[in-house]
Homo-oligomer: A and B are copies of this chain.
Amino acid sequence: MEIGSEKLHSDIEIALSAKMKPIKEIANSIGIKEDELDQYGKYKAKINSTVMKRLEHEQDGNLILVTSINPTKAGEGKSTVTVGLGDALQKLGHRTIIALREPSLGPVMGLKGGAAGGGYSQVLPMDEINLHFTGDIHAITTANNALAAFIDNHIHQGNELGIDPRRIVWKRSIDMNDRVLRNITVGLGGPSNGVPREDGFDITVASEIMAVLCLADGLQDIKKRLSKMVIGYTWGQRPVTVADLGVEGALTLILKEAMKPNLVQTIAHTPAFVHGGPFANIAHGCNSVAATKTALKLADYVVTEAGFGADLGAEKFLHIKARGAGISPKAVVIVATVRALKMHGGALKEELTREDLSALKTGFENVKKHAETISAFGLPFIIALNRFADDSPLELEAFGKLCLDSGISYALTEVWEKGGGGGIELAEGILKLIEDNNRSFEPLYDLSDSLEVKIVKVAKTVYGASDVDFTPAARQQMKKFEQEGWGSLPVCIAKTQYSLSDNPVLLGRPTGFKLTVRELKPKIGAGFIVALTGDIMTMPGLPKSPAALRMDVDESENAVGLF
């Protein structure tokens, strides 16, 4: 697919043939002591919270945020570029840590087959990271479903709190693509089986607990956040929280180990923190605050990524994660590919191998919009043009010209095929930007703005919408939420990742569109208000021929079929 796909090596083959260093050595290289580490096998470890305490007064390193254009079916390789950039910085002699999200098993079994970078820019052990890793997502699933069981048990045992079974907003979760669990009825079969009601499962990475784990600052903060989560409403329509049920202690206990950042390595032995993986639409879509903050204490450069395009991931990274945690990127990378831009310019997926300068030019508007957004936040950026095998020389030249004409700097990356060596130009570009920049980002809205103003500001400045339509239900909710005292939280707009607008087929740079906000959801534990635009899928389905059909274990107990 990307450069190197002409060779007959799949990601798993490259990953399994790579020679890892013992994780103790990797930890040691960034100054983590052995008693601050809990090993999970020889090549994975969890980092104890004692590290942060020890380094509390150290200066932070430089944070680099990797984001992208709106994703297309052509693939952009954002994680691959993130890993490759980290390896390139390490190769240039800089103390570097990469901070990534954990992959969700459901999509691995479905379409993706794997998600830990690609080619020679991967984090290892790729097979274990894609399967159970250190059990974080399982712990979140468990906490999520324990809470669901406590809710239904409370109702079954007399419902002292007066929870309205029709107004429970806490859903069950599972780390699997399982469409039949989207809408279910539970509690059937008579009184001993509880009180019947409508329910449904989300994929675990969409659980508020995943967002809580990613945004919390330590175990006591997790507990505080968990206790504030709204699980539903009483018959009198007052919110019911986890604290009302009294189970925040048990949920915290379930999450105790999952809270600790995981340490692994890239093929080039660059340390990588892979921790947390919230959805980038219903949640904020970036790795954990704990991992990012710990990495900043341990390295001069920390490379991290945010989910989907800059309109979703980077916006939320900045407004939700970075503002909440008191950190700021020093510079931003926007990943783009010729293939994806041609799709944004109207080319069909089947025609992407054909040279199409006109589509490229039209599609380039998508990069430009994201570049403007990052500028609006006051941050310097560089475009990483992630080269694919069938990009033509003329297309590459045309891209360079488009950048030059727009005053945008870019670097060509070939990290899939060459690892860090294919990202040197990008690394040098980033180092230059950081050297010249001493500012933090400027939020596009204030927390004291009303929920409506916050949403409108993001819609206009980041998406390029002409205006926002709120449904009557959404307006009523905004009013109610502000009455509940939730008005000062940031907003987390759930929107299709494929378009800057809320219509997935409007590619490139749509203009003159109105964003429609249908519904709001309070995520008080996570600390944001979700605003839903369009139908947001929180439980994917499996394709006709799932990747699982090609998975196996060979005679030497190695994984087969992850790619």
Task: Tell me the A residues contacting B by CB distance below 8 Å.
Answer: 38-42, 46, 49, 105, 109, 128, 131-132, 135, 138-139, 141-142, 145-146, 148-150, 152-153, 156-158, 174-189, 192-197, 199, 219-220, 223, 246-247, 249-250, 252-254, 256-257, 541-542, 544, 546, 548-553, 555, 557, 559-561
CB-nearest residue of chain B relative to A40?
B40
Residues of B within 8 A of A256 (CB): 131, 553, 557, 559
Q: Are B253 and A553 in contact (CB under 8 A)?
A: yes
| Inter-chain contact A149/B177, CB cutoff 8 Å | yes
Max chain B C-beta neighbours (<10 A), residue from A148, A176, A548:
A548
Partner of A40, one of B39, B142, B187, B249: B39
Q: Chain B contacts of A553 at CB under 8 A?
A: 219, 223, 249, 252-253, 256
Query: Whose C-beta in chain B lies nearest to the C-beta of A41?
Result: B38
Measured CB to CB, the closest approach of chain B to A254, in angstroms, equals 7
List the B side residues contacting A185 at CB < 8 Å: 184-185, 188
Residues on B with C-beta less than 8 A from A546 are 150, 153
Q: Is the CB of B183 within 8 A of A549?
A: no
A284 to chain B, nearest CB (A): 25
Distance, CA A442 to CA B549, complexed state (A): 43
**Closest Cβ–Cβ distance, residue A334 to chain B (whole Å):** 33
A542→B149 contact, CB < 8 A: yes
| Cα separation A196 to B188 with both chains bound (whole Å) | 15
With A193-B183, A541-B153: A551-B249 Cβ-Cβ less than 8 Å: yes
Return chain B residues, CB-CB under 8 Å to A128: 257
> Would A182 and B176 count as touching, CB distance under 8 A?
no
Do the beta carbons of B188 and A183 come within 8 Å of each other? yes
Known A39-B40, A132-B142: A194·B176 in contact at CB below 8 Å: no
Given known pairs A185-B184, A188-B183, A542-B149, the reply for A247 and B156 (CB within 8 Å) is: no
Once the chains bind, are B138 and A142 in contact (CB under 8 Å)?
yes
**Is the beta-carbon distance between A193 and B219 smaller than 8 angstroms?**
no
Nearest residue, chain B, Cβ from A42: B38
Complex Cα distance, B249 from A551, in Å, reads 5
Q: Please state if A180 and B195 are interface contacts (CB–CB under 8 Å).
A: yes
Contact with A49, one of B148, B194, B557 (Cβ below 8 angstroms): B557
Give the residue name and chain of the B residue nearest to A139 (CB). Answer: B132
Contact residue among B153, B187, B541 (Cβ-Cβ distance under 8 Å from A542): B153
- Residue pairs across A and B with Cβ atoms less than 8 A apart, 13 shown, are A38-B40, A38-B42, A109-B146, A132-B257, A148-B178, A149-B180, A180-B186, A183-B188, A184-B184, A220-B555, A249-B552, A253-B552, A253-B553
CB distance from A391 to the nearest CB of B (A): 34
Q: Which of B182, B194, B552 contacts A179 (CB 8 A)?
A: B194
Interchain CA distance A42-B299 in the complex, whole Å: 26
Residue A182 contacts which of B39, B193, B550 (CB distance < 8 angstroms)?
B193
Q: Which residues of B contact A223 (CB under 8 A)?
A: 553
List 18 additional contacts besides A128-B257, A250-B549; criterion CB under 8 Å: A38-B41, A132-B257, A145-B174, A150-B548, A180-B186, A181-B186, A182-B189, A182-B193, A183-B188, A185-B188, A192-B541, A219-B553, A219-B557, A249-B552, A250-B551, A250-B561, A253-B551, A253-B560
Chain B nearest CB: distance from A87 CB in Å? 26
Q: What's the minimum C-beta distance from A555 to chain B, rounded to whole angstroms?
A: 8
Q: How close is A217's CB to chain B, nearest CB, in angstroms?
A: 14
A552 to B255, CA, bound (A): 11
| Residue of A149, A193, A254, A555 ringed by the most chain B CB atoms within 10 A | A149
User: A169 vs B148: C-alpha distance in the bound complex, in angstroms?
Assistant: 25
Q: How distant is the Cα of A559 from the Cα of B246 in the complex, in angstroms?
A: 16
CB contacts (< 8 Å) of A46 on chain B: these are: 41
A325 to B41, CA, bound (A): 28
Complex: A559 Cα to B153 Cα, angstroms: 24
Q: In angstroms, how far is the closest chain B Cβ from the Cβ of A89?
A: 30
Across the A-B interface, give the 3 residue pairs with the lowest CB-CB distance, nearest first: A249-B552, A183-B189, A250-B548
Q: How far is the CB of A345 from chain B (nearest CB, A)?
A: 30
Say yes or no: A178 contacts B219, CB within 8 Å. no
Q: How far is the CA of A38 from the CA of B40 in the complex (A)?
A: 7
CA distance in complex: A552, B176 (Å) = 29
Contact B150 A179 (CB under 8 A): no
B41:A150 contact, CB within 8 angstroms? no
Task: Give the CA-CA distance A176 to B141 in the complex, in Å.
Answer: 11
Question: Chain B residues with Cβ under 8 A from A146's Cβ?
Answer: 109, 176, 548
- Tell me the nearest residue of chain B to A192, going by C-beta: B179
Whether A176 pairs with B149 at a CB distance below 8 angstroms is yes
Count chain B CB atoms within 10 A of each CB in A150, A250, A541, A552 and give the residue with the most: A250
**Bound: A139/B550 CA distance, A:** 19
Most buried by B among A49, A183, A192, A247: A183
